[in-house]
Amino acid sequence: MAREFCTLSTQQALEELQTPPEGLSDAEAAFRLAKFGKNTLERKRMPGVLEIFLRQFRSLIILILFFAALVSFFLDDILEAGIILILVILNAVIGAYHEFRAEKALDALKKFQPHEVKVLRGGAESIINSEDLVLGDIVALSAGDKVPADGRIIDGARLRVDESTLTGESNSVSKITDALQKEPTLAERKNMLYSGTLIISGRALLAVSATDAQTELGKVYEKISAEREHFPIQKKMDEFSRRLGAITLLGVAVLSLFGVFLLSYTPTEILKIAVAQAVSFVPEGLPIVVTIALALSVFEMAKKNALTRKLQAIETIGIVGVICVDKTGTLTQNRMRVQRVFLDFADFEIGESGKVACEGKPADLLEQPHFVELLKTGVLCNDAVDGDSSKHHEPVETALLEFALPFGYEKKKLEAMRQRTGEVPFDPKNKYMITMNRKDEKTHFNLKGAPEVVLSMCSKILKRGKAHPITPKHKKIILATTEKYAREGLRVMAFAYKNAERSKTIDNDYQFAGLVAFQDPLRAEAKAAVQKAREAGIRVIMITGDHCLTAQTIAREAGILLERGTVITGEEMERMGEKTLLRELARVQVFARVTSEHKLKIIELLKKRGEIVAMTGDGVNDALALKKADVGVALGSGTEVAKEASDIVLLDDNFSSLVDAVEEGRHSAMNIRRVVKYLFSTNFTEVLFLFIIIFSPVLFGTYLPLALLPIHILYVNLVTDGLCDVTLATEKKSENLMNKPPSYFKGGAFFSPDVMKFILATSLVSFTLLIFTYFYYLEHASSIGHMRTVVFTLLSFMQLWSAINARTASKSVFEAGFFSNRYLVGGIAVSIVVQLAAIYHPFFNEVLKTVPLTLFDWAVVLAGSTSLFMLFEIIKYFERRGMSIIS
């Protein structure tokens, strides 16, 4: 409905809304409020603690552990079942805690709050809450007001609006009251105002045509409320869980059939063996360690101003291959600054610190005879306020006042001496603004606007301290300079002035004072961050609604646009077919003049190419693309809708914080990979060992006693491994994390080649040591309990050395620092103490069926376990020299 209002006249719009010119009556407004409801977006309810807690049980690995606990309860192994359940619940508590903290932090950032608005009701002005606005209400708006609903402008003057949050257009937009001939795009509806946008200057009467969810803002908000696709890490974890579950169930089924029908085990014996096998297959500690590793990264990212809403977003950000970044506020400082001044046919460059240079040499603008007049004109022909850098004013006007301040010119003081008596407001058709200021009975006219327009109104030019007639040659030089500035991505304005005594007309006979060029400067750290991303194999693509030249300049300055890179505009995108655009995506580095639909299409096509994509955005227009991206990254200063659609929020709006988040994601992925290597080397060893013993009647012609009871396997998996895997997840960052391509991390932890090599090598060596020890003690041990205690202790100690081995892929542990991970050292120390208690404390002797060991037993355990560590140090030595022993 709102889209049709732009083609109606003001009278037709009021008739369509059934609103009289004096506004709705209170009774009619109350009726419509009851019928249509309040003007408020129904916020997506923040999930409660219990809901977040229950969400942690979606993993299939968790379900497998529940199954193992259930069987243990059935077999009266209450201790085993209890330990498994405690682990599962602990995992859920940790995950829920961090997710709830992130949701609470995000809720504190939300900014859509009701505010008071001025409405016309029954011919009188009233102040009401914005939530009580109804269709047909007439709202009075002025500079600084936030538009509370969508509507048709029925009256207005000098109206300029910041619609950047909705359309992506960084410049303010002039509005009109005339009906449009055809139904244009959202950004072209010059006679409409939209909820959430900001009045920069002027005034307006707005006839409300849409409220709450029917507004353009509300439509986007509803679209992003749906559940997003799973993160790549979630998909990988689910896929891994399904496969592991299938293998476990198949293994248990095969074992049960063979055990009962071929090996003559009793049903109770085979169930106990099946539980032992299931416990061996499943890495009980993996879910909790993955959660802890991701949670640690959440804390680190928070220190760097990146708020993570979903734990899984951490690892996903680590494998992104493309970052689509907005220009304004992320790469740039989101504030206009005077960059160049063209005065007396000289080009002056103003540095970030305020230093001035002309032709590479230091210069003083105050020494230029006409600079003060140029400065006064810029300050007086200005609607901004000293010291107010908010978005309530035109950015270039604020920049002019900030530029004038160090030279001693304040608008308030200057207007006290030269009081404004009249003005011609800026109009997009005329492209100029004039103010009349009076001093000593004289009226001074101050003019600013587009250079070609201002030049057409000038008859003289200031040169070398005097006014000279302006010539075509002068104009040619000035326009050439204007084009030069524009090619550099600068926004250019011309300034001129005159006294009333010299002219009776308002639109001619001015003296040209000079040009001022503005730019939203690049953030100091942006270029280094882009380079860091490139070294990490990540493509950075700028996507902006700004002009092509501006986008190119900033992209080159930031190091995004290189020699062979291409720039594509939204208009060019629309002319391209999908196949052509897919092909061009391999080279494109900048998209300019794009709409929200273009952004969404870019993300979809990049994902179609198989890319993992991160996208930054701050406006309502970015929300759908943020939701579609693998990782949506909102700016802290952005809209609530953008934050709601995101996975990560950059509290400082800084691109370098996003690159730091990528590094943290990679760090998290590597620590998870270390833990997977460690845990599965244990599990594979246990499974191999268990199968050999179970099938002993076939292999050796006799039944051999179990070398490890289910409680021993559970103890190693939960206590020994449990202390080491958690501390292994705290390993410090590798120095070369950002020198590897995303493909190195894309394989994930489940299972990359280096992970598989480690698991197989560790499992085979450990299995060999265990099987020899088993058979030796089967013959020489004083009892079966004695044999099991030695094998159990050897497995535990080998796992301690395996944790140390898993820290590095090829670097020697001594080079990395044997004690550099103090948490792991502490975990190993505690594991040793707990293992000693398991062997020598009477209570654990009873529960674990263990016996005290002799000195000879300890010599076997220490020699066997240490040999595993030394063997891996030798393997790493050859790996560093390019000779892979394990291929």
pLDDT band at 1 (very low <50, low <70, confident <90, very high): very low
In this structure, are strands 539-543 and 566-569 parallel, antiparallel, or unpaired? unpaired
**What is the rounded CA–CA span in Å between residue 339 and residue 354?**
9
User: What value does the mean pLDDT take over residues 396-425?
Assistant: 92
Please tell me the class of the 2-43+113-212 domain.
mainly beta
Q: Please name the residues in contact with 691: beta carbons below 8 A apart, sequence gap of 6 or more.
A: none
Which residue is it, tokens 């409409």?
Answer: 192
DSSP state of 431: -
Is the pLDDT at 46 greater than 90? The verdict is no
**What is the rounded CA–CA span in Å between residue 497 and residue 460?**
10
In this structure, are strands 419-424 and 566-569 parallel, antiparallel, or unpaired? unpaired
**What is the rounded CA–CA span in Å between residue 34 and residue 672?**
55
What is the model's pLDDT at position 233?
61
Higher pLDDT, 769 or 393: 769
**What is the rounded CA–CA span in Å between residue 26 and residue 30?**
6
In this structure, are strands 539-543 and 588-592 parallel, antiparallel, or unpaired? parallel
* Catalytic machinery residues: 326
Write out pLDDT tens, residues 529-542.
999 999 999 999 99
Span of 164-173, 321-330, 874-883 with lowest mean pLDDT = 164-173
Whether the CB-CB separation of 773 and 791 falls below 8 Å is answered with yes
Query: What are the structure tokens assigned to 596, written together?
Result: 């929200």
Is the pLDDT at 570 greater than 60? The verdict is yes
Is the pLDDT at 115 greater than 80? The verdict is no
Sheet with 588-592, strands from edge to edge, namely: 306-308, 648-650, 631-635, 613-617, 322-325, 539-543, 588-592, 566-569
In the chain, % helix, strand, coil (3-state, to 5) comes to 55, 15, 30
What is the model's pLDDT at position 830?
93
| Phi, psi of 841, deg, nearest 5 | -85, 130
Task: Return the amino acid letter for 138.
Answer: I
pLDDT band at 621 (very low <50, low <70, confident <90, very high): confident
What is the model's pLDDT at position 265?
67
pLDDT band at 729 (very low <50, low <70, confident <90, very high): confident
SS3 873: helix
Write out pLDDT tens, residues 797-848.
999 999 999 998 888 999 888 999 999 999 999 999 999 999 999 999 998 8
Q: Where are the domains of the chain?
A: 2-43+113-212, 307-332+523-660, 337-519
In this structure, are strands 491-499 and 466-469 parallel, antiparallel, or unpaired? unpaired
Distance set, CA 690 to CA 176, 276, 682, 707, 708 (Å): 81, 8, 12, 8, 8
Is the pLDDT at 278 greater than 70? The verdict is no
Where are the strands (E) in 166-272, listed by range?
Answer: 173-174, 192-193, 198-210
User: What value does the mean pLDDT take over residues 859-878?
Assistant: 94
Residue of 525, 567, 563, 520 lying closest to 542 (CA atoms): 567
Is the pLDDT at 238 greater than 90? The verdict is no
Residue of 530, 528, 548 lying closest to 540 (CA atoms): 530
Is the pLDDT at 614 greater than 90? The verdict is yes
User: What value does the mean pLDDT take over residues 348-375?
Assistant: 91
Query: What are the structure tokens assigned to 593, written together?
Result: 């003049």
Span of 181-190, 536-545, 604-613 with lowest mean pLDDT = 181-190
Higher pLDDT, 726 or 270: 726
pLDDT band at 707 (very low <50, low <70, confident <90, very high): confident
What is the model's pLDDT at position 404?
95
What is the model's pLDDT at position 399?
93
What is the model's pLDDT at position 3?
47
Which of the following CATH numbers is that of domain 307-332+523-660: 3.40.50.1000, 3.40.50.10860, 3.40.390.10, 3.40.1280.10? 3.40.50.1000
What is the model's pLDDT at position 2?
44
Is the pLDDT at 427 greater than 80? The verdict is no
What is the model's pLDDT at position 109?
45
Helices first, then strands: H and E counts in the chain: 35, 26
| DSSP track, 1-18 | -HHHHTTS-HHHHHHHHT
Span of 527-541, 726-740, 782-796, 813-827 with lowest mean pLDDT = 726-740
Residue of 264, 251, 266, 259 lying closest to 686 (CA atoms): 251
Omega before residue 751 within 30° of 0, cis: yes
What is the model's pLDDT at position 863?
97
User: What value does the mean pLDDT take over residues 850-867?
Assistant: 96
337-519, CATH topology level: Calcium-transporting ATPase, cytoplasmic domain N (3.40.1110)
What is the model's pLDDT at position 273?
67
Is the pLDDT at 284 greater than 70? The verdict is no
What is the model's pLDDT at position 268?
67
Give burial (CB, 10 Å; 0-12/13-18/19+) of 60: middle
Span of 240-249, 390-399, 699-708, 812-821 with lowest mean pLDDT = 240-249
| DSSP track, 327-382 | STTTTB-SS-EEEEEEETTEEEEE-TTS-EEETTEE--GGGSTTHHHHHHHHHHS-
What is the model's pLDDT at position 450?
93
User: What value does the mean pLDDT take over residues 198-227?
Assistant: 84
Is the pLDDT at 112 greater than 50? The verdict is no
Mean pLDDT of the chain: 85
Higher pLDDT, 876 or 644: 876
| DSSP track, 442-494 | EEEEEEEE-HHHHHHTEEEEEETTEEEE--HHHHHHHHHHHHHHHHTT-EEEE
Task: Return the amino acid letter for 753.
Answer: P
What is the model's pLDDT at position 475?
96
What is the model's pLDDT at position 615?
95
